[in-house]
Structure formats: structure tokens, C-alpha cells
Amino acid sequence: MLLKVKDLSLSLKKNGKYATILDHISFQVEKGETVGIVGESGCGKSMTALSLMRLLPEKARLDGEINLMDENIAKYSKRKLEKIRGNQVSMIFQDPLTSLNPLQTVGTQIEESLILHRNMTKEERRTRVLKLLKDVGLPRAEELVNEYPHQLSGGMRQRVMIAIAMACEPQLLICDEPTTALDVTIQAQILELMGEIKRRTQMGIIMITHDMGVVAEVCDRVIVMYAGKIVEQGPVRELFQNPTHPYTIGLLDSIPKLGQRKQKLGSIPGTVPAPGNMPAGCRFAERCRHTMDICRTTVPPMFDIKDGHQSACWLFDEKGGDQDGVVRSDELETALHH
Amino acid sequence: MHALQFVAKRLLLMIPILIGISILTFAISNTIPGDPARLILGPKATPEGLEALREDMGLNDPLYVQYGRYMGGIAQGDLGQSTYSQRPVLNDLLRYSPATFELTMFAMVVTLVVGIPFGIISASRKDKLADQFTRIFALLGVAMPAFWLGLLLLLFFYLKLGVLPGSGRLDGGMAPPDYITGMYTVDALLTGNWPVLYAAIMHLILPGLTLAAVTIGMITRMTRSSMLSVLKSDYIRTAYAKGAPENRVLYGHALRNGVMPVITLLGMAFGHALGGSVLVEAVFSWPGLGQYAVNAINYLDFPAVMGVTLLIAVIFILVNLIVDTLYFFIDPRLKHN
């Protein structure tokens, strides 16, 4: 097991009091596996990524376990964390325009990880930087090392970010909306590159996105988050074909599909509850079409649907479903054929 | 290439700016009450004598004629004759400016050495004790009038403790070093005159600190706010994500980005220090442009006042030009665009 996150909770101090951002998040990433985390803005997916890297504001309170290769890094000291960041775990950020230092050359910025984590001579580092640039598909690497971020296009900059992340061949790569700020054609190229890297290395990848297309393209498994909690997770194909949580259904319903003439795209009524003002029961209860009494009072646990497919919805409580995997309640039946 | 064009453009822009300044100063100094002729001839002057002198000095001509005459002289490198010292103003300026320049430069070095580190500490320990301390220090520096701070420093370090000299550029009876630049520290260093170098530095400390108090405050606060905004930026997060330790992030990534707006302010601070030297030189009997200007104003010595004003304006503009040109070397985005 590459990464095992257990009961991860995060609170941030805002206006003098702590607000819960993440609430008992648990998931796993295997070696060579790509796990997508989806959800709308503010659901805590980026905060999950930053928590894994422990790149949190000073006043953040983090509980639970982050087991990276059986080492709980949630309690690591600053010094020990620095040894892991950029070395065993790397991160790619959303905006390649602002994520690179404008005053340093591309070469210097890629080289930095090697200086920090590898005992290499200057020559060895240079060779490695050139190879990294070629690996991420950038042309004329020899000139590129001496150029500054502003001289590159958005797609090239994101490739540089990937090169930086790959410098020390990490076991885990966290991508926070790596294609959101890019043109659609460039998006496809970057995703292709990520897929290629995934095939070549045995790296585990966490892909944070709000784009279901990206998930379908590159992920093996997907985690759906809502208001700081995981509401559903499972293998991509299974989850897309057989979504169970009303939120996931709503999310998938809101994507336009080619070839389907539909008058109106689905939308989910209402808004996400604010951190610090979470309801007692299920956080989606207020917006859900199938709300039952128990939803408002008790937080739903994860119910097993099928191998590895889990859903945090009371509709799948044993009492309401049958045993052989295709757990359906009458309520959901109507929801799915709506 | 681009930098050269930029400098040329800015140098050309200096001309209208200087003409504007000269008109303003000329108008102000000629409309303030007081009669230079009466000041020169004293209380016992006869009306005929006064009239003759006024005619002789051209004071009876219309203001624009006087201004035209003055500017005509400047075009030929003639800044007029000081009515007080009876020497050409240009000679006086050359004679007094090295002392002021030395004092101002010293204050700027102190400002840089103290202000920027204070700003960095303040930003990296935001809202902690060190931040509060530097904030109070910076506010005091900006808020305290220079002449009052100067007197306090004199009282304490000169009169009470007796560890630092109180006035002048060198100890009494000490011969100045051989003239090279007119700045005693530089000349003493160049000629290897160590006792004079030591004395010159000791004499610079109190007036230099007085002058630097305001600019340290300015630079500290500016560095702090600039560093704070840089520390929030995405590339700082990238640096942390690479595993860079805090100090490396702070000095390797944040500092160069954070110091950019501070550089602009540095030009302003230099101008502030030049202007502030008028008061500080008076407190510490520093024989520089400030003292010369104060005397010139007291004696309604218009050519001298004009000369000092124009010189300070030229230095101020040049320093800001140098500062702005520095960006071309620090910010690669300007170099390539």
C-alpha cells in the first residue's frame, strides 16, 4: 500500500474559531494507481491535497493518519517533511502561470529539487534536467534551461511543473487541477503526458479535478467529495455506470453528453453548507430529493455496494437494500430513472 | 537595447522637469517678502545706495526677464554669484555637496542594512513579538522629527556617555584627507589615512542615524508588506512543495521578488534623506549643502537657493533613474519584452 489515509480531519482557524474543512476522510492509493478526487469548488479536494503534503496554514489543525509507505507523516516534524516533499511525494498545481518563480530560470527551478534531495554533481544535475525536459516533451531543452517562465506558453509551463515534480522520481504524485487553467487542446496533451508517465513509472497519482472527463480519461478509481466528506468512491467504470449517491448522480447529470438531446442539464438545487455550520446528519440532506428522517439526524457511514465501491447514503443501509451487490432501494430506483 | 532607450527617454524627460522646478523655485523665492539689497547693505543704507544695488543686481527688471537671464546663464554653466559668499554658486555647490552626499550615502547604507532585514523578520514572524518590535521601531522612526531625534541622540551619546562626537566632520584640529572626492571617508580610505577614516566614520554615526531613522521606517514597512504578499504567492508554495526549508524559501525565492517594490521606494528614500539633511546638518553643524541652503535662505541669497534646489532635483531624478534602470537587471520580464 502506497498511501493509506485514515480518518483525516482538518480544521482551519477563521475569525477566531476553528471551522471543519475535512471530516474523517479515509482512502487508499496503490502503487501505479491513479485516484481521482472530484467535487465542486470548496468541497475540500484541494485541501485534501495540501494536507497530504502538509502544506497547510500555520493555524491549521490536522487529525488522523497519513500513512505513506507505512510511515504516518501526519505527525512528522518540519525537517522530516522537507525530506519527503518533492522527493517521495510531489505536487503539481493548478495555475502554471503563477506557480513558477518569475525571477528564476526554468533550469534553476527544476534543478532545485535535485539540489535538495539528491547528492549529484553540477554536471549530473544538468544532464538530469535536460533529460527531464525531454521526458515531458519540451523541445530545445538546451536553450530552455536558461529561459524564464514568462517566455513560455501555459502548456509549456505546466510541462515544466511536471518536470519539477518528476525530478526525484516520487512514488506519489498529487495533481491539483493540473489542466484547469489550460486550453482544451493543451489539456489533452498534458493528460496524455500524465498517462504516459503513469505507464512508464510505477507512481501512484492523485488527480484532483472537477472535470469528470479528466477522471474518465486517466483515473482507475474515483473519490467523490461533498462538503469536506467523502460521499462515494469506487472504480471509475463501475462508479460512472452505476452511481449510487444522490450527489454523484446529480454531478454526473450536470455534464452535457454528446448525442443526447436533452432540453436542460441537470442541476442540484441549493448550496453547499458553510464550514463551521454543518448540519448534524448527512451534509447533502438539504439538497437531496430522497431525504429521510435519519438523514437529518445521523451521519451516514460508508456502505459497501460492490467490490471497492462504497457510498455514504442511508438509502444503502442493510435494511433498505438486498445483499447481492446491486443494492437498490425504491427511492433510488426512481432517482436513477428520473 | 531596451534599457538604453529607456534611459535616453528618461534623460530627455529631465529637461521639462528641471524647467518646471526652476520656474517654481524662482517664483517662490522672488515673491517671499524681503529685500536682498537691504540685507546686503545693512540698516544704515541710503535709499540711493539701495536703488543703485537693486539696479545693479537686476532686481528691478520684470520677473520673467530675471528668469530668462538666469536660465541663459545656466545654459552656459553659470549658476550666478552668491550674494552672501560672493563666490560663484557653482563653486559653492561643488564645495559643500560632497559632505552632504557622504552623509546621505551613509544614511542610505544604514537604511538598507537595517531596513530590509527588519522588514524580512517582520514579515516572516508576522504578528509575533519580533514583528511588533520592528513595527514600533519603524513607526517611531517615521514619526519622530529629525531635529528632535538628533538632539536626543546628541544628549545621550555625546553629552551623557561621551562615546560619539557631537558636531562637524572631523575631530577639532584634525586636517582633512587629501582632496579626491571631497568625501572624507572615501578620501581617507583611498590615501590610507586611518586615523582620519576612523574619526570621519565616528562623526558620521549620529547625523547618519538621525537621517536614516525615517527612511529605515519607510523601508521596513514596505519590505514587510511586499514580502507578505510574495509569501502568499503560488511559487512560494511550489518551493515548499519541493521540500525547500523555510530559510531557503525566504531568501532564495521570496526575497528577490519581495525586494522589487522596495527598490523604487529606495529612490524616494534617497530624496527624502537629501531633503532631511537640511535639518540634520543644522543640528550637527555638518558643513554641507543643507547648512549652505539655510544660510542662503536667511540672507535671501536667491542664486544660492536656486542652485541648491536645482542640484538636489537633478540628484533626485538621477537616483530614481538609476533605481528604475536597476529593474532591467533584476527582472528578466523587462529584459525580454
Question: For residue A265, what pLDDT band results from cuts at 50, 70 and 90?
Answer: confident
Q: Report CB contact under 8 Å: A102, B332.
A: yes
The verdict on A107 touching B (C-beta cutoff 8 Å) is no
Q: What is the pTM of this model?
A: 0.81
How far separated are the first and last CA of chain A, in Å rounded?
A: 39
Compute the residue count for chain B. 337
Confidence (pLDDT) at A67:
93
Closest CA–CA distance from residue B223 to any residue of chain A (Å) = 18
Closest CA–CA distance from residue A114 to any residue of chain B (Å) = 9
The verdict on B229 touching A (C-beta cutoff 8 Å) is no
**Which one of B238, B248, B257, B329 would you mutate to disrupt binding with A, by most A Cβ within 10 Å of its Cβ?**
B238
Q: Chain A partners of B256 at a C-beta cutoff of 8 Å? A: 103
Cβ(A198)–Cβ(A218) under 8 Å? yes
Specify the amino acid at residue A266.
Answer: G
| Residue A321 scores a pLDDT above 50 | no
The verdict on B240 touching A (C-beta cutoff 8 Å) is yes
Sign of the dihedral through C-alpha A193, A194, A195, A196 = positive
Beta bridge partners of A17: A14
| Residue A322 scores a pLDDT above 70 | no
- Alpha carbons A186 and A158: distance in angstroms, whole number: 10
Confidence (pLDDT) at A97:
85
Cβ(A227)–Cβ(A284) under 8 Å? yes
Task: Name residues whose C-beta falls within 8 Å of residue A197's C-beta, 6 or more positions apart in sequence.
Answer: A135, A162, A166, A173, A203
- What are the domain boundaries of chain A? 96-169, 231-257+267-336
Question: For residue A148, what pLDDT band results from cuts at 50, 70 and 90?
Answer: very high
Residue with the bigger pLDDT between B84 and B96: it is: B96
Confidence (pLDDT) at B272:
87
Task: Return the DSSP state at A202.
Answer: -
Q: Report CB contact under 8 Å: B238, A85.
A: no
Q: What is the pLDDT of residues B275-331, one digit of tens each?
A: 888 889 999 999 999 999 999 988 888 889 889 988 998 898 898 888 888 888 888
**Which one of A68, A82, A173 would you mutate to disrupt binding with B, by most B Cβ within 10 Å of its Cβ?**
A82
Q: Chain A partners of B326 at a C-beta cutoff of 8 Å? A: none
Q: What is the pLDDT of residues A93-104, one digit of tens each?
A: 988 889 999 999
Q: Is A118 helix (H, G, I), strand (E, B) or coil?
A: coil
Confidence (pLDDT) at B85:
85
Report ipTM for this prediction. 0.87
Confidence (pLDDT) at B1:
54
User: How does strand A60-68 pair with strand A71-72?
Assistant: antiparallel
* Percent of residues, chain B, with pLDDT higher than 90: 45
Q: Chain B partners of A158 at a C-beta cutoff of 8 Å? A: none
- Alpha carbons A248 and B107: distance in angstroms, whole number: 65
CA B75 to chain CA mean position, Å: 25
Cell numbers placing B182 = 571631497
Domains and CATH numbers, chain B: 102-289 (1.10.3720.10)
Confidence (pLDDT) at B334:
79
Closest CA–CA distance from residue B270 to any residue of chain A (Å) = 26
Task: Return the DSSP state at B249.
Answer: I
Q: Report CB contact under 8 Å: B332, A85.
A: no
Q: Report CB contact under 8 Å: A103, B234.
A: no
Q: What is the pLDDT of residues B7-41, one digit of tens each?
A: 888 889 888 998 999 899 888 888 777 777 777 78
**Which one of B124, B235, B242, B329 would you mutate to disrupt binding with A, by most A Cβ within 10 Å of its Cβ?**
B242
- Alpha carbons A232 and A226: distance in angstroms, whole number: 9
